[in-house]
Structure 1
Amino acid sequence: MQNTIHYGVSSLHPASHYFDICLTIAEPDPAGQVLWLPDWIPGSYMIRDFSRHLTPLHAFTADDQPVAITAIDKSSWRCAPVEGLLRVRYRVYAWDMSVRTALLDQFGGFFNGTSLFLAVSGQEQRPVSVSIERPVGAEAWRVATTLPRDGAEALGFGDYCAANYDELIDHPVELGVFDYLRFDMDGVPHALAVTGVHRGDLARLVSDLRKICATQIAFFQDPAPFSEYLFLLRVVGSGYGGLEHRSSTSLICNRDDLPSANEPEAPSAGYTQLLGLCSHEYFHSWNVKRLKPDVMVAPNLRQPAHTELLWFFEGITSYYDDQFLLRAGVIDAPAYAALLSQQLSRYVQTPGRSVQTVSASSFDAWTKYYQQNENTPHVVVSYYIKGAIIALCLDLMLRTQGHSLDAVMRALWQRFGRSQAGICADDIQTAITDLLGSYGEVFLQQALHSTQELPWQCLLEDIGVQVKLSSAQAVTLGVRTQAGDGGVLLRVVDPAGPAAQAGLSAGDVVVALDQRRISAANWDKRLAQYAAGESVSVYAFRRDEWLACTCIIAVAAADTCTLGLSDDTDAWPRVLAVNH
């Protein structure tokens, strides 16, 4: 079928942050063509209302006669019936430094199709073509994307294409001046495009990415499920995030997280975090992009697609992302132990785990996990973190039976991932109980649908890992803080803690303790001068109003986990990371 839908992307003035879009429809609906824009982007489970960034739409016939357009709702429109070709012009405001939407200025640009491309209702399965024009004044810019080229040169502006609308919106596009490094993985071309000012050692990064990619491809014992792959990495002063796509990923990292020219053999904490992010998004090429929940096979991008399985697709991935750093040899066993310790600490430090089940967390991601406030830690458990701890428990239980979580993932991939058939909760349970029996069924019921504590500690100790829970500080007021305007901002306040009992709330700015001025820099040191049971006078502002109260210092909870290696320093990391 010929491409009867065409998108033109241009910008006359990139510094204004506007993309200019021209949509041409060769065969519009004779009853009046309906157009719509997604309200969310796959992989980020929140209604984002991308249509708010569109300027008014203007439609024309082939001879440039205006065509009336009527809004149906917040993100769909109906064009009046026309004979022959229909052309729609509009602009998209692009000024969001994230992996989810679009960005454009005089230095470069980025976009996801969900932000720019109106869907042609009833013709979503038709092939489409896209012309990406060089913006005015952007002579040095190039294009990085895995969107199939249809005449455009490699890294060049020009014509691209997609088999349908779903494919069109699953290939993010980077425009601008960037570093571009290619590498090959078993005949599959890979590339890294890095945008932003930096002095990073990209050869080191590519070397480590090669190891991670090779390890993950070998994991599934199948050829890579894509014909090419692209890491799009934007480096900024402060930022972090990633979003998976079918043959690429969009990433943001801190500039200082890139490896330096004199980076030691053992990667820094920031560089390790970056490698973990790359590992996480690359693993999504299998786990969620192809091995996916049934509701995500053909999701309605106009409304939430609720599923209780995000604990599996994000949590399992969060378990394996650091595992692959160890298996690939880019970190050693002590470094992996430290990463697992941090993950366990974050879990233990989440009071919401005793309130919300992980299946409910998955289902309510649209309204709770992705729309957090100061009360979130007390009522929400992260399906990323708890899902990863569930994966750890399953892996340890399976290994006692001579199996592993690896075997479960491969079985699900062979049955559902290859065909992208979509899986449900019963499919996951069956794959696990086939190896663990009724014990696995009981564990899953408790882990997923109750707030009962997970047996991670005893399972680790059973294989010789030394688990220590301690307090980062001896005493506490039951708050999480950050620097505030003239004092210390109470970011989170434990409802059962001393501060809350005294009447303090999240958002209050503490300016003094016991008549002495306080700051974020000396908060911990000053608090450590008190013993549990002592009282302290707290002076604060709530908005612009003065507040004074007395708090009783409490003993800090033992919520920081440290994992120790046994005398055989290779024993438990080998058990956790070996491929079965």
Structure 2
Amino acid sequence: MIQYQIVPINPHAHLFEVTLTLDKVSGREVELYLPNWIPGSYMIRDFAKHIQWLKAESAGQSLAVKKLDKARWLVDSCGGDDKPIEVRYQVYAWDLSVRGAHLDQTHGFFNGTSVFLAVKGQEEVQYKVNIQPPAGEAFKNWRVATGLQPVDGTKEFGFGWYQAENYDELIDCPVEMSDFRLISFDACGVPHYMALTGQHKVDEARLKNDLIKICEHHIRFFGEPAPVERYIFMTYVLGKGFGGLEHRNSTALHCSREDLPLPSDDPEKVKDSYQTFLDLCSHEYFHTWNVKRIKPAEFLPYDTQNESHTELLWAFEGFTSYYDNLALVQTGIIPIKQYLLTIAKTITTVQRARGRLIQSVTDSSFDAWTKFYKQDENAPNAVVSYYSKGALIALCMDLLIRKLTDNQKSLRDVMVRLWQEFGQPQIGVKNDSIQTITIEVCGQQHQKELDDFFQLALYSTDDLPLVELLKTVDMELVFQPRNDRNDKGQVKDEMPHNKPKPSLGIEYQGANLGITVKSVYWDSAACEAGISAGDQLISMNDLKIDNDEFAKRLAECEIGETVVIRGFRRDELMRFEVTLKASVADTAYLVYCNDEKDESSKLKQWLTH
């Protein structure tokens, strides 16, 4: 057994102190390492940079420690002789994210990948962790929320000893310590909890009721029993924040205060921000099956020291993104029209990304480490999201399977097969596994059509057959120029006919003076005129512009008109002559094909079964 003790030694200085004890050591040297990335977030993050210092001793004698590289240490055990070794080190914890470690006088949070050194060659032994509170009266009400199993008399949510069966489990169970609000509920007989840290108000009964619907829906989707004995949503509530990271029996979430439901909210409506939060909860919970247990072959086992490339993130993140908000409409939390608006916005997001014409979704998955997670100002022109496009591929697959099987089968049948044949026995999913299962679900007579679909959807940059497939559920998809800057897609009863408007072809944000260009589309009027990301534009035709006035000034112009725009690039004043182009028809409008609106039997069959 390998033991740790972790103590928030100085919350004001954001320092955890960790003691690693090896009961018996055979051999001359012990190699220790810290992961360089955390599963679920595909970028090298170099967590070891936050280790302040590291010391080792045995029987009161200091041991020599040699650093091998950025995340590995070699401890000289002085011959071993089965003597215990104690390694102490401090970790600076000021990463306010779901991926690292964060500590102050209000709470402590850490992922094991940030704080627990691994012993090379001992990853499969049992691990115990003694989690201690900060010293002082101010922390007397703090508790512990974690997916780790309490042992040796430790009470649930109490400080003390916790256990993991191996190192992989240890680093897959984050820890939150604070005076959090705890919401408890059962889903299909399994205890579930939400720990809310941070100042907030919430309609607890409504949140609990919606979470029960979501969790039970996902459990029954794959089939009871659930693969967990308990589950915890660890949620840090902020003024502004959003994010989540999945784990085997828990998730770490960030949300904004406005995302939570309030007692004063209309009980008949789900506000947009609350839907976004429920989507996040649903997304991370669906990952309990899809990526935590149904995994790419490249992730069995995880190599947390090096990048692990897979072309399958389109399925693991994309399918999860499809089912996260589909669960909300199938459980009756949101109405059909509200769900369709979510689909329209997703289609718009993908359509506006010029990167969809450059990068396939499998390449996007493979290059997540260097492109998707390290996006720069050119990302809209070079990168397609395997989340968003993956969700649209899942939508297409669901509708195509239903069409080919006369609604006798759906994408759910593929997901259940993946769970039974890969997730439960812990066999890695290969690049062609999903395609093979889909063909088997639909029948071999449809192999040619499905092969053609997968070639187009996964390995080409051609647009997906959304128009044709949405017609099978009585929905018409048309692309229109956006009405205004906030138009991200709509659902209409009748066919719209938006007029093109003059456009620069940029994304921007307000600045103290004028506007700052965030990105420039490569086929735009701004690009042809030489405007670049980072430019601070201050005037158009000698009139001042700001975040509000810019859109108004632009709307007063004509397509094909040449305007003079001035702005600063770094500290140099620049002058641009821009010939305005027509706005691109890249905004998705979903239109009902008949007068039944969302009561269409085909539409309801898709969205309720």
TM exceeds 0.5? yes
Give the SS at the match of 2:108.
Answer: strand
Structure 1 distance, partners of 2:390, 2:329, is 20
Structure 2 residue aligned with 1:468 = 478
Q: What's the counterpart of residue 544 of structure 1?
A: 571
- Residue 142, structure 1, aligned to residue 152, structure 2: no
Find the aligned partners of 1:293 and 1:483 in 2 and give their Cα distance.
42
Contact 1:337 1:564 survives alignment (8 Å): no
Equivalent residue in structure 2 for 1:401, among 394, 400, 404: 404
The answer (yes or no) to whether the contact 1:243–1:281 under 8 Å persists in 2 is yes
For 1:95 and 1:449, locate their aligned partners in 2 and report how far apart those are by CA, in whole Å.
40
Residue 201 of structure 2 is aligned to residue 199 of structure 1: yes
Q: Which position in structure 2 is the counterpart of 1:564?
A: 591
Distance 1:564 1:195 in 2: 42
Residue 156 of structure 1 corresponds to which residue in structure 2? 158
Question: Does residue 441 in structure 1 map to residue 473 in structure 2?
Answer: no
Q: Tell me which amino acid in the other structure corresponds to 1:73.
A: D
Structure 2 matches for 1:522-537, cutoff 5 A? 522-537=549-564
Match of 2:374 among 371, 376, 392: 371
**Do residues 519 (structure 1) and 543 (structure 2) align?**
no
The amino acid that maps onto 1:351 is R
1:35 maps to what in 2? Answer: 32
Question: Which residue in 2 is equivalent to 1:341?
Answer: 344
1 CA distance for matches of 2:377 and 2:195?
36
- The 3-state SS of whatever aligns with 1:11 is strand
1:417-436 equivalence runs, <5 A: 417-434=423-440, 435=442, 436=446
**In the TM superposition, what is the alpha-carbon distance from 1:117 to its structure 2 partner?**
0.1
Contact 1:37 1:76 in 2 (8 A): yes
Alpha-carbon separation, structure 2, partners of 1:383 and 1:201: 34
Say which SS state the counterpart of residue 275 (structure 2) adopts. Answer: helix
8 Å contact from structure 1 (residues 110, 172) kept in 2: yes
- 1:221 to partner: Cα distance: 2.1
Question: Counterpart of 1:331 in structure 2: which amino acid?
Answer: I
**What is the 5 A alignment of 1:176-575?**
176-264=178-266, 265-402=268-405, 403-434=409-440, 435=442, 436-472=446-482, 473=484, 474-565=501-592, 566-568=594-596, 569-571=598-600, 572-575=602-605
> How many Å separate the matches in 1 of 2:71 and 2:166?
20
Which secondary structure does the structure 2 equivalent of 1:469 belong to?
A: strand
Letter of the structure 2 residue corresponding to residue 525 of structure 1: K
Q: In the TM superposition, what is the alpha-carbon distance from 1:29 to its structure 2 partner? A: 4.3
CA distances 1:417-472 after superposition (whole Å, capped 9, x unpaired):
11121111221111111114221112111211111111011211233102232112
AA of the residue aligned to 2:141: A
Q: Is the 8 A contact 1:142 1:176 kept in 2?
A: yes
- State the distance in 2 between where 1:199 and 1:567 align: 42
Q: What is aligned with 1:125? A: 124
Q: State whether residues 470 and 558 of structure 1, in contact with CA within 8 Å, keep that contact through their aligned partners in structure 2.
A: yes
In structure 1, what is the equivalent of residue 41 of structure 2? 44
Residues 295-325 of structure 1, C-alpha deviations (whole Å, 9 max, x = no match)? 1120110001100000010001111111101
Read off the aligned partner of 2:418 and give its amino acid letter.
Answer: L
Q: CA deviation at 1:329?
A: 1.0
Contact 1:352 1:379 in 2 (8 A): yes
TM-score, L = length of structure 2: 0.93
String of CA shifts for 1:22-43, please: whole Å, max 9, x gaps.
Answer: 1111123412000000000000
- Paired residues of 1:333 and 1:570 also in contact (CA < 8 A): no
Specify which of 61, 68, 91 is matched with residue 65 of structure 1: 61
Q: SS in structure 1 opposite 2:538?
A: strand
Structure 2 residue matching 1:154: 3-state secondary structure: coil
Q: Does the residue aligned with 2:12 lie in a helix, a strand or coil?
A: helix
Identity %: 44
2:51 is aligned with 1:54: yes
Partner of 2:72: 76
CA-to-partner distance for each residue in 1:117-150, whole Å, 9 max, x for gaps?
0001111111011001111221121111111001
Contact kept, 8 Å, 1:485 with 1:509, in 2: the verdict is no
**Does structure 2 retain, via aligned residues, the 8 Å contact 1:9–1:20?**
yes
Unaligned runs of 5+ in 2: 485-500
- C-alpha deviation, 1:401, in angstroms: 2.1
Deviation at 1:578, TM superposition (A): 3.5
CA distance in 1, matches of 2:512, 2:14: 32
Report the residue type matching 1:407 in the other structure: D
Distance in 2, matches of 1:28 and 1:543, equals 58
Which whole-Å CA distance do the structure 2 matches of 1:58 and 1:307 have between them? Answer: 37
The DSSP-based 3-state class of the residue aligned with 1:558 is coil
1:115 equivalenced with 2:125 (yes/no):
no
1:96 alignment partner AA: D
Q: C-alpha displacement at 1:185, in angstroms?
A: 1.3
Contact 1:18 1:91 in 2 (8 A): yes
Residue by residue over 1:508-539, the C-alpha shift from the partner in whole angstroms, topping out at 9 and shown as x without a partner, is: 00011111111112221221111101111111
Q: Which amino acid aligns with 1:577?
A: L
Write the letter of the residue equivalent to 2:606: L
- Once the two structures are superposed, what CA deviation does each residue of 1:180-236 show, in whole Å capped at 9, x if it has no partner? 011011221000111111112122111101001111111112311111111111111
Letter in 2 for 1:410: V
Partner Cα distance (2:198, 2:590) in 1: 37
What residue is the counterpart of 1:577 in the other structure?
A: 607
Query: Residue type matched to 1:567 in 2?
Result: D
Q: What is the one-letter code of the residue matched to 2:51?
A: L
- TM-score w.r.t. length of structure 1: 0.97
Task: Tell me which amino acid in the other structure corresponds to 1:144.
Answer: A
Partners in 2 of 1:504 and 1:484 — Cα distance? Answer: 17
Mapped to 1, the partners of 2:460 and 2:564 lie a distance apart of: 40
Structure 1 partner of 2:491: none
